[in-house]
Structure 1
Amino acid sequence: MAVTAVDFDDLPAPVRTAIETETGPILKTETVSAGLNSALSARIHTTAGAVFLKGLRTEHRWVWTQQREADINPYVTPLAPRLLFRVVADGWDILGFEAIDGHHADYSPGSADLPKVTEGMRRLGEIPCPDIELRQAEQRLAGYVDNLADAELFKGDALLHTDWNNHNVLITDDHTHLVDWGWATRGAAWLDPAHWIIWLIAAGHTPAQAEELAARLPAWGTAPAESVDAFAKATSKLWAEIAGNSPDNWPAPLLSAATLWLGHRLS
């Protein structure tokens, strides 16, 4: 089920009223184009300040990610923006977060953002995985391994973000913020750096350069080579599936990156 984007003004009147009950008078609204997992992605300005809204229709197959974000938020702030409220009304599930005035991380070679991203990932690695319902890495990747037993290589007790799209990493002057926690997962600690490698290669790094950046994170040193090889194979199949099911070509650079990394691992 595709996500069809809507503007704030397209929401049913009862939903807009319920949001304004939480925020106070809304003075201005802005649609935010970045993001693939939300039908509503908007910044609203109120007398008390700005609020970021993200939402899905309650019948959407991904609406469970709204609950996941609400559940995990108390454990990941201030690394993540604080959840201010949740509104479920008239067929919509809306989360309201404190708005962050930052820029999307630049993953390109030589970017000044790269050390800040690694620091944010290191801080995430220090957060204990909360005892809440989360996806399991070995289950998420089980359909993409050569042998089902290989999925056990991804098992662990670390809290993982897993979606390292640079639009999910906001950089301010003194902080790195991670947003979009709907796909938070419990698994091996090295998996977040491994997921990041794909995005780094897509941004222009060679596979060797991307692995060197990942190696700056303590978690990467815990990864057995055979486990990384199994992940590289699995994630190349995953991105092939995403690219095959996508109505546009946004996954193409990620599929190319995953294929390039797999070739590097196999060589």
Structure 2
Amino acid sequence: MPTDRLTEVPADVLAAIADTTGPVVKTEHVGSGFNSEIAARIHTESGTVFVKGLRADHPRVWTQQREADINPYVQGIAPRLLWHLRPAGWDLLGFEAVDGRPADYAPESPDVGAVATLLRRLGQVPCPDVPLKSMPDRMAAYSDTPELFSGNRLLHTDWHNTNVLIHEGSVLLVDWAWASRGAGWIDPALWVLWLIAGGHTAGQAELRVASLPAWSDAPREAVDAFAEASARLWREIAGADPDPWTERMEAAAGAWARHRDGSAR
């Protein structure tokens, strides 16, 4: 479930940040995203930092350490982590602040080509020796053959368009909370879902990833199984009374699964 976002940065958090960066001049609440209780641009006398945080007893606080572990290995495609603090019952990450807007996944958007290039670059990053969940484990509840998703590639896995920032021709990938280890074609496959949700047909979405080496090497059986597992996953997330966002993703996952098994024809 999404984590509720605070609309104000608590005073004890600001004090801890000030101890590290110098006096805080201004804070700007960041509204998008689902994984943090705190997400804000913090302006200090020495510069601006993007801060995301969870309470130390939050059930997903482990995602903070995962982002910290991954960050040194994804320089050039992700903002740099400046510090990791654990003050007063909070777990806080401070990243270099970057300007950028969320990627547009519409069929006519020039962002789509830039994101494909980003995926190609990510596919060249070796998977670091840090604790990561495996995709077979993550998808075991939704597939009879989760072993088909195994591999030793670093995967981001959350291609929500707000996690892809576009600025003056450059593209950065943020929010590595759900980074995992698995087959290299899985990130392109997950992006296919978001492209469909953005207005592509399933066939158009697959054409967008067709030139990626990881995709072209993917076994058809494995991709078919992943499409079906993704449809099951999004049906569970949507439930009986989905909000517009989850309803759109459930529809996209269903459309892709039908495309893969031929029932859409």
TM exceeding 0.5: yes
Partners of 1:27 and 1:7 in 2: CA distance:
17
Residues 27-47 of structure 1: CA distance to partner in whole angstroms, max 9, x if unpaired? 111111110111111111122
Partners of 1:212 and 1:68 in 2: CA distance:
32
Query: Within 5 A, what are the aligned runs for 1:41-56?
Result: 41-56=39-54
- Paired AA for residue 217 in structure 2: T
In structure 2, the partner of 1:253 is 248
In structure 2, the partner of 1:174 is 169
218-227 or 20-29: which moved more? 20-29
8 Å CA contact 1:87–1:95 kept in 2: the answer is yes
Please point out which of 194, 207, 212 is paired with 2:189: 194
| Other structure's SS at 1:51 match | strand
Residues 180-205 of structure 1: CA distance to partner in whole angstroms, max 9, x if unpaired? 00100110000000000110000000
Residues 132-162 of structure 1: CA distance to partner in whole angstroms, max 9, x if unpaired? 10010111001101x2xx1110000110000
1:239 lines up with 2:234 in the alignment: yes
Give me the CA root mean square deviation.
Answer: 1.4
- Paired AA for residue 156 in structure 1: G
Please point out which of 105, 130, 136 is paired with 2:128: 130
Partners of 1:220 and 1:54 in 2: CA distance:
33
Shift of 1:6: 0.7
Structure 1 residues without counterparts, runs of 5 or longer: none
TM-score by length of structure 1 reads: 0.95
Shift of 1:93: 0.8
Please point out which of 69, 72, 85 is paired with 2:70: 72
Query: Within 5 A, what are the aligned runs for 1:139-178?
Result: 139-145=137-143, 147=144, 150-178=145-173
Shift of 1:15: 2.3
Partners of 2:91 and 2:13 in 1: CA distance:
9
196-205 or 83-92: which moved more? 83-92
Partners of 2:96 and 2:209 in 1: CA distance:
30
Shift of 1:20: 1.1
- Paired AA for residue 6 in structure 2: V
In structure 2, the partner of 1:262 is 257
Aligned residues: 262
- Runs of 4+ in structure 1 deviating by more than 6 angstroms, as ranges, are none
1:111 lines up with 2:106 in the alignment: no
TM-score by length of structure 2 reads: 0.95
Change (3 A) 1:245 1:170: farther
Partners of 1:244 and 1:77 in 2: CA distance:
38
Q: Percent identity?
A: 55
Change (3 A) 1:248 1:57: farther
Change (3 A) 1:126 1:245: farther
Partners of 1:245 and 1:167 in 2: CA distance:
26
| Other structure's SS at 2:86 match | strand
Please point out which of 12, 15, 20 is paired with 1:14: 12
Shift of 1:243: 1.3
8 Å CA contact 1:243–1:249 kept in 2: the answer is no
In structure 2, the partner of 1:27 is 25
Residues 198-250 of structure 1: CA distance to partner in whole angstroms, max 9, x if unpaired? 10000000000000001121110111111111000000111111112887442
1:223 lines up with 2:218 in the alignment: yes
Please point out which of 114, 119, 122 is paired with 1:121: 119
8 Å CA contact 1:7–1:42 kept in 2: the answer is no
